[in-house]
Amino acid sequence: MDNIQNSKSKISFPHMGNYFYAFKPLANLLADEVIIPPPITKKTIELGTKHSPESACIPFKYNLGNFIEALDAGANVLVQSGGGCRFGYYGEVQEVILKNLGYKFEFLKFVNDFSIPKIAKYIRKNNPKLSRFTIYKTILLVYLRIRAIDEVESYLRKNIGFEKNPGEFERNLKIFLRELERTYVISDLKKLKRKYLKILNNIPIDKPADPIRVAVVGELYVLMEPFSNFNIEKELGRRGIEVHRFCNVSSILHDCFTFDLYMRKFLKYAYPYLKYHIGAHGTESVGLTNKLMKEGFDGVIHIKPFGCMPEVNAMSALYRIGRENKFPILYFSFDSQTSETGVKTRIEAFYDMLIMKKKKTYDKK
Amino acid sequence: MSEDNKKIRIGLPRALHFHKYHTFWEDFFKQMGFEVVVSPETNQQILKRGVNLAVDESCLSLKIYLGHIDWLRDKVDYIFLPRIVSLHKEEKNCTKFMSLNDIVRNTFSKVKLIEYTIDVEKFRFEFFEIFRTVFYVKHSPFKIFRAYYLAKRKQMAYTQQRIKGQQEKIKNKNPDRPMILIVSHPYTTYDSLIGRPIIKFLESQGVDLLYADVVDPHKSKELSKNISGDLYWTYNKELLGSIEIFKPYIDGIIFLMVFPCGPDALVVNLCQHKIKNIPLAVITLDELSGEAGLKTRLESFVDILKLRKKKHG
């Protein structure tokens, strides 16, 4: 940090969904100023792909693109976390690539350690002036913000397809996020969450008693970053499908701190298709698919970046679930080259198939 | 399990871990009184079966592995398939090795596996796991212990012998011939379909070859930190460390990478950025790779090395 202490330190971190609103206060502790990288566009992924190894997975490329754009915007401290599959090794490779491009910056890595005291210690090492109380308070604030975002978004996902006045949900979400960014007091945050859940609840919707329910499972980055999956949730919602997603940052944090317990839970769900943990979120994908199938979901969409190791492992089990139970599962594999039209066409076909299947079951009854 | 009249046949697929531990496994099971059946060297037919069975996006090594299992499954009673998650503390293997058992079980409906988990991070060590597994069939602890000890010793002797052979190669080095280090996983290098032809071709071009996997693992793991501090895949660590060990003797490095290998994709890229003074070639192999193009690339790489050698003496 020495060379940076002289000038003003500007910290930045890669995008994932709307979570930069949540992580901003924590980043603020590490540096004088937080630079939010410009929103992900086609240019971001082009930049990322240009400088990444060709067979790296797509989150690597997005993150690298974010870093380059942030550095161009003046950032000089970058943060990358890691763990699980290849993700743990992102940091080192990205640092080398960016240094070779001639950028000067400090790179902070949180690899494979998600314990709160460790993170607090790390922050204190970099910024000894801070008191422990401030750090823990900020961590709590970040956690509550994540929870608030997740709860609101999860309600949105289930109902956005049935709104009477199109665009109302999204407009409210934007206002909510803007207000969230300004809320620093923990009790206010709770009030804010309640207020907006109430507002969203009061938005008129036209929901049938038995809507088509589809769950999205798969790799966490492409699940949570709407640009990388071509807004698959919005696309589904627009067709009047109730979308469920069980993976968000709060669920990941929960899993990190109860590692063995959550693994056992998902292995139980995944019986008899899995016997062992298959790495990162693969077990979760299989377990959830099997569970949701039994719960009577109409279909599952499995999405992953091309070449994602754990999810490819999960696919052999998912194939078997689909084959043995005649359960519709749609597989998507995203890369920098995937075309949006192709994705839309396949979703359309999947949707038509689900409707036909639903009609058939009704006719039988 | 009645095994008095007939020996139980155990199948070892000649792919992935086999190339690293075959001496140990074969010897252990033979001493325990099992009949060991090893699948043949990989051929086009095995690859074709594997490609049909596997998920499209899985790596070539896994496709070959499934092909071998398909060959074995009606010829043996059990297929031996240990699940090796982590071999050392704070180290891991590729997630493919974690899920191998489940992939096999989901791909083939009726297949009997002998399996155990090695996960040092969760205190599941090799000896206890192998002991527990074999004890179901052969209730003689002493015999298991003895077989384990002897087989391990044999494996170690074999490794030592190979390391010595490589050191002698360096000693008797012909100063005019360029020396190339092959950096790739044993299951790529020694596979008769993907690695061997390349090795043979290179040898015919008048170069000496060193293998990155023939090295003292402790030493190489320590040295791998010079290149990459964060690396946590055991096998990749060993390979990277060997680059550091052989650095003074080699004129070029060839990375053999199967498509799409997860760890290698990042590690090899890191090497390309970090290793500056040694020429290196990255060769990506998949089931469609045409031989002619590959040979041209290898030839030109060898030519470059020879020219460089002449220039710098």
Contacts A275 to B, Cβ<8 Å? 101-102, 105
Q: What percent of chain B has pLDDT over 70?
A: 98
Using CB atoms, pick whichever of B54, B57, B98 lies closest to residue A307.
B57
3-state helix, strand, coil in chain A (%, to 5): 60, 10, 30
Q: Which residues of B touch A331 (CB under 8 A)?
A: none
Q: Among A96, A109, A307, whose Cβ lies nearest the Cβ of B270?
A: A96
Provide the CATH number for the domain around residue B116: 3.40.50
Residue A261 lies in a domain: yes
- The pLDDT tens digits for B120-134 are 888 888 888 888 888
Is A161 strand, coil or helix?
Answer: helix
Minimum distance, in Å, between the CA of residue A112 and any CA atom of chain B:
10
Residue A295, H or E segment: helix A282-295
Contacting residues of A for B260, CB less than 8 Å apart: 55, 306-307
Instruction: Assess whether pLDDT exceeds 70 at residue B200.
Output: yes
Cβ–Cβ gap A89/B232 under 8 Å: yes
Contact status of B275 with chain A (Cβ, < 8 Å) = no
pLDDT of B283 strictly over 70: yes
Residue B160 lies in a domain: no
* Residue A131 to residue A122: CA distance in whole angstroms: 13
- Chain A residues closer than 8 Å to B61 by CB: none
A309, B274: Cβ pair inside 8 Å? no
- Domain stops at, among B153, B188, B204: B153
Measured between CB atoms, does B138 come within 8 Å of chain A?
no
The band of B289, judged by pLDDT with boundaries at 50, 70 and 90, is low
B79 vs B39, B75, B145, CA distance in Å?
11, 10, 22
Note whether B273 contacts A: Cβ–Cβ < 8 A.
Answer: yes
Average pLDDT, chain A: 87
In a domain, A328, yes or no: yes
Tokens for A305, please give them.
């970046």
Average pLDDT over residues A111-129: 78
Any domain includes B56: yes
Same domain? A109 vs A256: no
Is the Cβ pair B103, A91 closer than 8 Å?
Answer: no
Counting Cα atoms < 13 Å in the Cβ hemisphere of A99 gives: 12
Surface of B (84-103) touching A: CB under 8 A: 94-96, 98-99, 101-103
Residue B147 has pLDDT above 70, yes or no: yes
Q: Which residue in A99, A286, A313, A324 has the most chain B C-beta atoms within 10 A of its own C-beta, making it the best mutation to test that interface?
A: A313
What is the model's pLDDT at position A289? 93
Assigned domain for B4 exists: no
Helix (H, G, I), strand (E, B) or coil at B312: helix
Q: A285 and A186 share a domain?
A: no
Subunit contact A333:B96, Cβ cutoff 8 A:
no
User: Does A307 have pLDDT greater than 90?
Assistant: no
Q: Do B57 and A309 touch (CB under 8 A)?
A: no
Tell if the CB–CB gap between A100 and B268 is shorter than 8 Å.
no
Query: In this structure, are A15 and A116 located in the same domain?
Result: yes
B82 shares its domain with B181: no
User: Are residue B13 and residue B111 in the same domain, yes or no?
Assistant: yes
Q: Is the pLDDT of residue B92 over 90?
A: no
Residue A152 lies in a domain: yes
Q: Do B266 and A109 touch (CB under 8 A)?
A: no
Q: Looking at the structure, tell me whether residues A201 and A214 fall in a common domain.
A: no
Chain A nearest CA to B247, separation (Å): 21
The verdict on residue A138 lying in a domain is no
Q: Are residues B220 and B127 in the same domain?
A: no
State the Cα–Cα distance between residues B289 and A149, nearest whole angstrom.
48
**B54: containing domain:** 9-153
Is A216 found in the same domain as A249? yes
Q: What is the CATH number of the domain that holds A16?
A: 3.40.50
Range of the structural domain that residue A312 is part of? 208-365
- Put simply, the answer to whether A275 touches B229 (Cβ < 8 Å) is no
Same domain, B208 and B130: no
Q: Are residues B15 and B71 both part of a single domain?
A: yes
Mind listing the pLDDT tens digit for each residue in A58-92? 889 999 999 999 999 988 889 888 777 888 888 88
Cα-to-chain-centroid distance, residue A148: 15
**A148 membership: H or E segment, kind and range:** helix A132-159
CB contact under 8 A, A56 and B273: no
Average pLDDT of the segment spanning B162-168: 92
Cβ of A158 under 8 Å from any chain B Cβ?
A: no
Q: Is residue A136 part of a domain?
A: no
Q: Which of A110, A316, A324 to mutate to test the interface with B (most CBs of B within 10 A)?
A: A316
Q: Is the domain of A197 the same as that of A219?
A: no
Q: For residue B14, tell me if it sits in a domain.
A: yes
- Partners of B98 on chain A (C-beta within 8 Å) are 276-279, 313
Q: How many residue pairs bridge chain A and chain B with CB atoms within 8 Å of each other?
A: 110
Closest chain A residue by Cα to residue B228 = A92
In this prediction, residue A339 has a pLDDT band, given cuts at 50, 70 and 90, of confident
Taking the mean position of all CA atoms in its chain, how far away is CA A76?
Answer: 25
Minimal-distance CA residue of chain B relative to A274: B102
The 10s digit of each residue's pLDDT in A176-219 is 999 988 888 888 888 888 898 899 888 888 888 888 999 999 88
Residue B151 confidence (pLDDT) above 90: yes
Residues of B in contact with A313 (CB under 8 A): 58, 95-96, 98-99, 102-103
| Position B3 in a domain | no
- Considering the domain architecture, whether residues B149 and B180 belong to the same structural domain is answered as no
In a domain, B52, yes or no: yes
User: Does residue B125 sit in the same domain as residue B50?
Assistant: yes
Q: To the nearest whole angstrom, how far is the Cα of A45 from the nearest Cα of chain B?
A: 18
Q: Are residues A241 and A328 in the same domain?
A: yes
How far, in Å, are A48, A148, A194, A309, B264 from residue B261 at the CA level?
20, 38, 47, 9, 6
Same structural domain for residues A125 and A162? no
Instruction: Confirm whether B212 is domain-assigned.
Output: yes
Question: Last residue of a domain, which of B125, B153, B181?
Answer: B153
Do residues A235 and A360 share a domain?
A: yes
B183 and B247 assigned to the same domain: yes
Q: Are residues B179 and B116 in the same domain?
A: no
pLDDT over 90 for what percent of chain A?
A: 23
In the predicted model, what is the mean pLDDT of residues B24-39? 91
In this predicted structure, what is the pLDDT of residue B28?
92
Both A312 and A340 in one domain: the answer is: yes
Chain B residues in contact with A90 (beta carbon < 8 A): 266
Q: Are residues B228 and B189 in the same domain?
A: yes
Tell me whether residue A187 is in a domain: yes
Of A273, A306, A307, the CB nearest to B106: A273
Q: Are residues A275 and A170 in the same domain?
A: no
Q: How far is A218 from chain B (nearest CA, A)?
A: 15
Q: How many domains does chain B have?
A: 2
Q: Indicate the number of domains in chain A.
A: 3
Same domain, B39 and B119: yes
In this prediction, residues A318-324 reach a mean pLDDT of 91
Tens digit of pLDDT for each residue in A2-44? 444 557 888 898 888 888 888 888 888 888 888 888 999 999 9
| A86 & A191 share domain | no
Residue B97 phi, psi dihedral angles, 5° rounding: -70, -20
CA distance A146 to chain B (A): 28
Contact check, Cβ <8 Å, A56/B105: no
Is residue A1 very low, low, confident or very high in pLDDT (cuts 50, 70, 90)?
Answer: very low
| Full DSSP string of A167-206 | THHHHHHHHHHHHHHH---HHHHHHHHHHHHHHHHHS-B-
Contact residues on chain B for A97, CB-CB shorter than 8 A:
269, 273
Residues of chain A contacting residue B226, judged by C-beta atoms under 8 Å apart: none
Is B163 inside any structural domain?
Answer: no
**Segment B105-111 mean pLDDT:** 87
> What mean pLDDT comes out for the span B164-185?
90
Decide if B55 and A312 are in contact by the 8 Å CB cutoff: yes
Q: Are B203 and B305 part of one and the same domain?
A: yes
Q: Is the dihedral of CA A158, A162, A168, A171 positive or negative?
A: positive
Backbone angles phi, psi at A333, to 5 degrees: -130, 115
